[in-house]
Amino acid sequence: MFNQQDEIQISVLMTAYNAGKTIAETIASVLGQTFSAFEFIIVNDGSTDNTKEVISSFSDKRIKLIDNPVNLGIIDSANKGLGYCRSKYVARIDADDICHPKRFLRQYRFMERNPNCVVCGTHYRKIRNSKIVKPSSKHFFHVRDKILRIEMLRNSPIGNPTVIYRRSLVEEHGLRYDHNYLYCEDYAFLCQALNFGEIHILNRPLVYYRQHSEQISTKYAGLQCENANKIRVSLIKRLVPDISSLEVSTHLALMTDLNSRKDITNEQIRQWVDRVCGLNKEKKIYDVALFDKFMHRRGQRIIENK
């Protein structure tokens, strides 16, 4: 383990727009980390409230404030912030979430010990109406790459405010957040990262995630699903390059409840599940046993609830 007085190891990247009510608590949770060898890049995206004033009230020298004169949006702001990151790792956090004090320490140690891992997330607990929601389970498990690759077919299984990734993804492989996937740009980024190494979720909830009515997943659910569908199709095409339009509709119906199922028959579902499971047994893109279980469970769930 390096001496924390040495050069910084993590660039923490946060974008903020009109986050004056919550950002002080977020910043305090980052500055209060037991792991101190980080820089904190905050992009104030043209906020019209007191966000900039709140950020400026912190005198910690690790904070680097990037002040957009106008609102650029989360994608341009995040990409702009990446240009200021100089460390081995990039950690994300949103301006209304809270980090556990040992978040960076645990993620840094895992990444250092697992050089094949390019992205590491954590479990998280929800904050609703200013209270931490009691988790449905007391046990949090390490979720490994072979499981997450399959879960990616549906949605991003890693919460963006929990991720840390190698900056080499940006510098050497050219990954950026993409306007073609507005409101699910983190999902698209993670899909690209799969090409360069493993992804994992640690077995502890190390972020507190605030739920509210202004969240993107609530406010822009339709457009988010539409853009996420483009990702879902691109992923399944790796397994089924000659997928038909009917199979696309069937697959998307299985992957998320937001897609229509009214014209999808039970027989079409069974045929699709059989086809992709058979192809995966040949190509072995995904762990065969886990993929079979995943697809049959999704298919059966849809059939039972039609």
213-258 pLDDT, tens digit per residue, is: 666 666 778 899 999 999 999 999 999 999 999 999 999 999 998 8
| 120 and 153, same domain (yes or no) | yes
pTM of the complete model: 0.93
Q: Which domain holds residue 177?
A: 10-216
Q: What is the mean pLDDT of the chain?
A: 93
pLDDT value, residue 2: 47
In this structure, is residue 4 part of a structural domain?
no
Judged against a pLDDT cut of 50, whether residue 123 lies above it is answered with: yes
As a three-state string, the secondary structure of the chain is CCCCCCCCCEEEEEEECCCCCCHHHHHHHHHCCCCCCEEEEEEEECCCCCHHHHHHCCCCCCEEEEEECCCCCHHHHHHHHHCCCCCCEEEECCCCCEECCCHHHHHHHHHHHCCCEEEEEEEEEEEECCEECCCCCCCCCCECHHHHHHHCCCCCCCCHHHCEEECHHHHCCCCCCCHHHCCCHHHHHHHHHCCCCEEEEEEEEEEEEEECCCCHHHHCHHHHHHHHHHHHHHHHHCCCCCCCHHHHHHHHHHHCCCCCCCCCCHHHHHHHHHHHHHHHHHHCCCCHHHHHHHHHHHHHHHHHHC
| 149 and 196, same domain (yes or no) | yes
Last residue of some domain: 160, 184, 216? Answer: 216
In this structure, is residue 226 part of a structural domain?
no
In this structure, is residue 224 part of a structural domain?
no
Indicate the pLDDT class of residue 1, thresholds 50, 70 and 90. Answer: very low
User: Tens digits of per-residue pLDDT, 6-41?
Assistant: 689 999 999 999 999 999 999 999 999 999 999 999
| 294 and 203, same domain (yes or no) | no
Q: Of 15-24, 63-72, 203-212, 270-279, which range is least confident?
A: 203-212
| 142 and 98, same domain (yes or no) | yes
| 96 and 210, same domain (yes or no) | yes
User: Tens digits of per-residue pLDDT, 37-69?
Assistant: 999 999 999 999 999 999 999 999 999 999 999
| 108 and 191, same domain (yes or no) | yes
